Amino acid sequence: MSSSAEPLPLPPPKARNLHWRTIQFILQNVFCFWLGYRARGYQRLDEADGGLVLSNHQSFLDPLLIGLPLHRPVSFLGRDSLFRVPVVGWILRNTYVMPINRESASTASLRETIRRMHHGYLVGIFPEGTRTETGEVGEFKPGFVAMLRRAKLPVYPVGIAGGFQAMGRKSWFLYPARVRVVVGEPITVAELDQFANRNQDQELIDFVRNRIVACYQEAEAWRTENRSK
Protein backbone atom coordinates (compact mmCIF):
# COMPACT_ATOMS: atom_id res chain seq x y z
CA MET A 1 0.00 0.00 0.00
CA SER A 2 1.32 3.46 -0.89
CA SER A 3 2.24 5.68 2.04
CA SER A 4 0.86 8.77 0.31
CA ALA A 5 -2.88 9.19 0.57
CA GLU A 6 -4.88 9.67 -2.58
CA PRO A 7 -6.79 12.96 -2.73
CA LEU A 8 -10.41 12.65 -1.72
CA PRO A 9 -13.03 12.62 -4.49
CA LEU A 10 -14.58 16.03 -5.00
CA PRO A 11 -18.33 16.66 -5.03
CA PRO A 12 -19.79 18.34 -8.12
CA PRO A 13 -18.28 21.84 -8.35
CA LYS A 14 -21.64 23.60 -8.49
CA ALA A 15 -23.40 21.58 -5.80
CA ARG A 16 -24.11 23.29 -2.47
CA ASN A 17 -24.39 20.94 0.47
CA LEU A 18 -27.04 21.40 3.16
CA HIS A 19 -24.62 23.10 5.57
CA TRP A 20 -23.53 25.57 2.91
CA ARG A 21 -27.12 26.41 1.91
CA THR A 22 -28.24 26.84 5.52
CA ILE A 23 -25.36 29.17 6.41
CA GLN A 24 -25.91 31.13 3.21
CA PHE A 25 -29.65 31.56 3.89
CA ILE A 26 -29.05 32.86 7.42
CA LEU A 27 -26.31 35.26 6.36
CA GLN A 28 -28.28 36.57 3.38
CA ASN A 29 -30.98 37.75 5.76
CA VAL A 30 -28.56 39.17 8.34
CA PHE A 31 -26.22 40.94 5.89
CA CYS A 32 -28.93 42.36 3.63
CA PHE A 33 -30.71 43.84 6.67
CA TRP A 34 -27.73 44.92 8.81
CA LEU A 35 -25.23 45.86 6.08
CA GLY A 36 -27.56 46.79 3.24
CA TYR A 37 -25.55 44.25 1.27
CA ARG A 38 -25.69 44.41 -2.52
CA ALA A 39 -23.60 42.77 -5.27
CA ARG A 40 -23.40 43.00 -9.03
CA GLY A 41 -21.63 41.04 -11.73
CA TYR A 42 -21.92 37.85 -9.64
CA GLN A 43 -23.61 36.05 -12.54
CA ARG A 44 -20.13 35.84 -14.05
CA LEU A 45 -19.15 33.52 -11.20
CA ASP A 46 -22.36 31.52 -11.22
CA GLU A 47 -21.96 30.76 -14.92
CA ALA A 48 -18.20 30.10 -14.84
CA ASP A 49 -16.37 26.81 -14.92
CA GLY A 50 -13.12 26.40 -12.99
CA GLY A 51 -10.98 29.43 -12.30
CA LEU A 52 -9.35 31.65 -9.70
CA VAL A 53 -11.33 34.31 -7.81
CA LEU A 54 -9.03 37.11 -6.63
CA SER A 55 -10.26 39.88 -4.34
CA ASN A 56 -9.10 42.69 -2.11
CA HIS A 57 -9.14 41.79 1.58
CA GLN A 58 -11.07 44.08 3.94
CA SER A 59 -12.24 41.82 6.76
CA PHE A 60 -12.87 38.29 8.00
CA LEU A 61 -16.26 38.63 6.31
CA ASP A 62 -14.84 38.69 2.78
CA PRO A 63 -15.33 35.00 1.81
CA LEU A 64 -18.93 35.26 3.02
CA LEU A 65 -19.50 38.55 1.17
CA ILE A 66 -18.25 37.04 -2.09
CA GLY A 67 -20.21 33.80 -1.77
CA LEU A 68 -23.45 35.31 -0.45
CA PRO A 69 -25.35 35.79 -3.75
CA LEU A 70 -23.96 32.73 -5.55
CA HIS A 71 -25.78 29.53 -6.42
CA ARG A 72 -22.52 27.57 -6.22
CA PRO A 73 -19.66 27.34 -3.70
CA VAL A 74 -16.29 29.05 -3.91
CA SER A 75 -13.47 27.04 -2.36
CA PHE A 76 -11.39 29.54 -0.36
CA LEU A 77 -8.00 29.00 1.25
CA GLY A 78 -7.98 29.37 5.05
CA ARG A 79 -5.32 29.27 7.75
CA ASP A 80 -4.97 25.72 9.03
CA SER A 81 -5.06 26.97 12.64
CA LEU A 82 -8.68 28.10 12.14
CA PHE A 83 -9.74 24.51 11.52
CA ARG A 84 -8.90 23.71 15.15
CA VAL A 85 -11.27 26.36 16.53
CA PRO A 86 -14.58 24.89 17.80
CA VAL A 87 -17.57 25.70 15.60
CA VAL A 88 -15.41 27.73 13.19
CA GLY A 89 -13.52 24.62 12.12
CA TRP A 90 -16.77 22.74 11.54
CA ILE A 91 -18.10 25.55 9.35
CA LEU A 92 -14.88 25.70 7.32
CA ARG A 93 -14.81 21.94 6.73
CA ASN A 94 -18.42 22.01 5.53
CA THR A 95 -18.12 25.00 3.22
CA TYR A 96 -15.32 23.76 0.93
CA VAL A 97 -12.50 25.78 2.56
CA MET A 98 -9.00 24.37 2.04
CA PRO A 99 -6.52 24.58 4.94
CA ILE A 100 -3.13 26.15 4.25
CA ASN A 101 -0.12 26.87 6.44
CA ARG A 102 0.87 30.43 5.55
CA GLU A 103 4.35 29.95 7.00
CA SER A 104 5.16 26.94 4.82
CA ALA A 105 2.70 26.67 1.97
CA SER A 106 3.50 23.34 0.34
CA THR A 107 3.41 22.02 -3.20
CA ALA A 108 0.64 19.71 -1.99
CA SER A 109 -1.55 22.77 -1.32
CA LEU A 110 -0.74 24.12 -4.76
CA ARG A 111 -1.59 20.78 -6.40
CA GLU A 112 -4.89 20.53 -4.52
CA THR A 113 -5.82 24.08 -5.50
CA ILE A 114 -5.16 23.40 -9.18
CA ARG A 115 -6.93 20.03 -8.96
CA ARG A 116 -10.07 21.72 -7.72
CA MET A 117 -9.99 24.37 -10.44
CA HIS A 118 -9.53 21.76 -13.17
CA HIS A 119 -12.42 19.82 -11.64
CA GLY A 120 -14.59 22.89 -12.24
CA TYR A 121 -14.33 24.65 -8.89
CA LEU A 122 -13.81 28.34 -8.32
CA VAL A 123 -10.96 28.82 -5.84
CA GLY A 124 -10.81 32.08 -3.89
CA ILE A 125 -7.62 33.84 -2.78
CA PHE A 126 -6.79 37.24 -1.28
CA PRO A 127 -3.45 38.24 -2.86
CA GLU A 128 -2.74 40.91 -0.23
CA GLY A 129 -2.19 38.02 2.16
CA THR A 130 -3.72 39.88 5.10
CA ARG A 131 -6.54 42.31 5.82
CA THR A 132 -6.08 45.94 4.90
CA GLU A 133 -5.20 48.40 7.66
CA THR A 134 -6.67 51.42 5.87
CA GLY A 135 -9.52 50.12 3.71
CA GLU A 136 -7.52 50.69 0.53
CA VAL A 137 -6.11 47.86 -1.61
CA GLY A 138 -2.60 46.95 -0.42
CA GLU A 139 0.35 45.48 -2.28
CA PHE A 140 -0.02 41.95 -3.59
CA LYS A 141 2.20 39.08 -2.50
CA PRO A 142 3.50 36.95 -5.40
CA GLY A 143 2.31 33.55 -4.14
CA PHE A 144 -0.72 33.39 -6.44
CA VAL A 145 1.38 33.75 -9.61
CA ALA A 146 2.39 30.07 -9.63
CA MET A 147 -1.31 29.11 -9.60
CA LEU A 148 -2.02 31.39 -12.55
CA ARG A 149 0.82 29.96 -14.60
CA ARG A 150 0.11 26.31 -13.87
CA ALA A 151 -3.69 26.33 -13.95
CA LYS A 152 -4.13 28.08 -17.34
CA LEU A 153 -7.68 29.13 -16.37
CA PRO A 154 -9.47 32.49 -16.21
CA VAL A 155 -9.17 34.86 -13.26
CA TYR A 156 -12.25 36.57 -11.83
CA PRO A 157 -11.44 39.94 -10.18
CA VAL A 158 -13.62 41.03 -7.26
CA GLY A 159 -13.79 44.34 -5.40
CA ILE A 160 -15.27 44.65 -1.89
CA ALA A 161 -16.16 48.01 -0.32
CA GLY A 162 -17.58 48.53 3.15
CA GLY A 163 -16.25 45.34 4.70
CA PHE A 164 -13.50 47.38 6.41
CA GLN A 165 -16.08 49.70 7.95
CA ALA A 166 -18.30 46.78 8.98
CA MET A 167 -15.59 44.70 10.64
CA GLY A 168 -12.02 45.91 10.13
CA ARG A 169 -8.84 44.50 11.62
CA LYS A 170 -9.44 45.79 15.14
CA SER A 171 -13.21 45.26 15.23
CA TRP A 172 -14.89 42.71 17.46
CA PHE A 173 -18.42 43.61 16.43
CA LEU A 174 -20.34 43.81 13.17
CA TYR A 175 -21.13 47.47 12.55
CA PRO A 176 -24.02 48.53 10.24
CA ALA A 177 -21.84 49.78 7.40
CA ARG A 178 -23.03 49.76 3.81
CA VAL A 179 -21.36 46.92 1.87
CA ARG A 180 -21.03 46.52 -1.89
CA VAL A 181 -19.34 43.79 -3.97
CA VAL A 182 -18.47 44.05 -7.67
CA VAL A 183 -17.36 41.12 -9.83
CA GLY A 184 -15.52 42.40 -12.88
CA GLU A 185 -15.02 40.98 -16.35
CA PRO A 186 -12.90 37.81 -16.24
CA ILE A 187 -9.23 38.02 -17.10
CA THR A 188 -8.79 35.54 -19.92
CA VAL A 189 -5.99 33.03 -20.38
CA ALA A 190 -4.91 34.98 -23.49
CA GLU A 191 -4.49 38.14 -21.38
CA LEU A 192 -2.48 36.24 -18.78
CA ASP A 193 -0.28 34.71 -21.50
CA GLN A 194 1.01 38.20 -22.34
CA PHE A 195 3.15 37.81 -19.22
CA ALA A 196 4.36 34.27 -19.90
CA ASN A 197 8.04 34.95 -19.17
CA ARG A 198 9.16 34.37 -15.60
CA ASN A 199 10.85 37.77 -15.52
CA GLN A 200 7.43 39.36 -16.06
CA ASP A 201 6.02 38.24 -12.71
CA GLN A 202 5.80 41.79 -11.34
CA GLU A 203 4.09 43.04 -14.49
CA LEU A 204 1.55 40.23 -14.16
CA ILE A 205 0.93 41.08 -10.50
CA ASP A 206 0.44 44.76 -11.36
CA PHE A 207 -1.92 43.88 -14.21
CA VAL A 208 -4.13 41.70 -12.01
CA ARG A 209 -4.01 44.20 -9.12
CA ASN A 210 -5.16 47.03 -11.39
CA ARG A 211 -8.21 45.00 -12.44
CA ILE A 212 -9.11 44.32 -8.79
CA VAL A 213 -8.55 47.96 -7.84
CA ALA A 214 -10.97 48.98 -10.61
CA CYS A 215 -13.61 46.64 -9.13
CA TYR A 216 -12.97 48.03 -5.65
CA GLN A 217 -13.27 51.62 -6.86
CA GLU A 218 -16.56 50.81 -8.59
CA ALA A 219 -17.85 49.14 -5.41
CA GLU A 220 -16.74 52.09 -3.27
CA ALA A 221 -18.44 54.61 -5.58
CA TRP A 222 -21.61 52.50 -5.45
CA ARG A 223 -21.41 52.27 -1.65
CA THR A 224 -21.09 56.02 -1.14
CA GLU A 225 -23.65 57.18 -3.70
CA ASN A 226 -27.10 58.46 -2.77
CA ARG A 227 -28.59 55.89 -0.39
CA SER A 228 -31.94 56.06 -2.15
CA LYS A 229 -30.45 54.45 -5.26
The whole-angstrom separation of Cα 228 and Cα 190 is 40
Domain that holds residue 113: 18-224
Longest dimension (CA), the chain: 65
Count of the separate structural domains present in the chain: 1
The whole-angstrom separation of Cα 75 and Cα 78 is 10
In a domain, 7, yes or no: no
In a domain, 11, yes or no: no
In a domain, 142, yes or no: yes
Q: With contact defined as beta carbons under 8 Å apart, do 99 and 80 qualify?
A: yes
Mean pLDDT of 24-29: 92
- Model-wide pTM > 0.85: yes
In a domain, 10, yes or no: no
The whole-angstrom separation of Cα 142 and Cα 112 is 18
Q: With contact defined as beta carbons under 8 Å apart, do 113 and 123 qualify?
A: yes
Summarize pLDDT for 97-144 with one digit per residue, the tens: 888 776 655 677 888 899 999 999 999 999 998 899 999 999 999 989
pLDDT at residue 19 above 90?
Answer: no
CATH number for the domain that contains residue 162 = 3.40.1130.10
In a domain, 199, yes or no: yes
In a domain, 229, yes or no: no
The whole-angstrom separation of Cα 210 and Cα 127 is 12
In a domain, 146, yes or no: yes
CB-based contacts of 146, cutoff 8 Å, min separation 6: 110
